[in-house]
Amino acid sequence: MRREGEAGFTGRAMKDNEVSLWRQLAGLSSLGITFAAAIAIGAAIGVGLDRWLETSPWLTILFFLFGVAAGFANLVKDLKRWGR
């Protein structure tokens, strides 16, 4: 078995660590997207209900806040998962 610094060393352990790092970065980079998506979905539902029920702007505000809460809940859940 060859050691680091010797001719023919492939650095497999280093490559495995790099792949793991890239997977973690990819997973963490999705946090912002899911947070924004939760807010946008909540706001869109609120706008749709406000138009249908003619209650503007109350349901938009309410569902926007639901979206923010859902975004933070997903953020905390994902950060706990990635923190292991």
Tell whether the model's pLDDT for residue 17 goes beyond 80. Answer: no
- What per-residue confidence (pLDDT) applies to 51? 96
My answer on whether omega of the bond before 57 falls inside 30° of 0, hence cis, is yes
Q: Flag whether 14 is in a domain.
A: no
C-alpha torsion 25→26→27→32, nearest 10: 90
Q: Flag whether 6 is in a domain.
A: no
- What per-residue confidence (pLDDT) applies to 52? 96
Q: Flag whether 36 is in a domain.
A: yes
pTM for the predicted model, two decimal places = 0.71
Q: Flag whether 19 is in a domain.
A: no
**Which residue segment(s) compose the domain that 38 sits in?**
31-82
When mean pLDDT is compared across 7-11, 20-24, 46-50, 57-61, the lowest value belongs to: 7-11
Question: How far is 65 from 49, CA to CA, in rounded Å?
Answer: 15
Exposure letters 1-37 (e unless 16+ CB within 10 A, then b): eeeeeeeeeeeeeeeeeeeeeeeeeeeeeeeeeebee
Domain count, the chain: 1
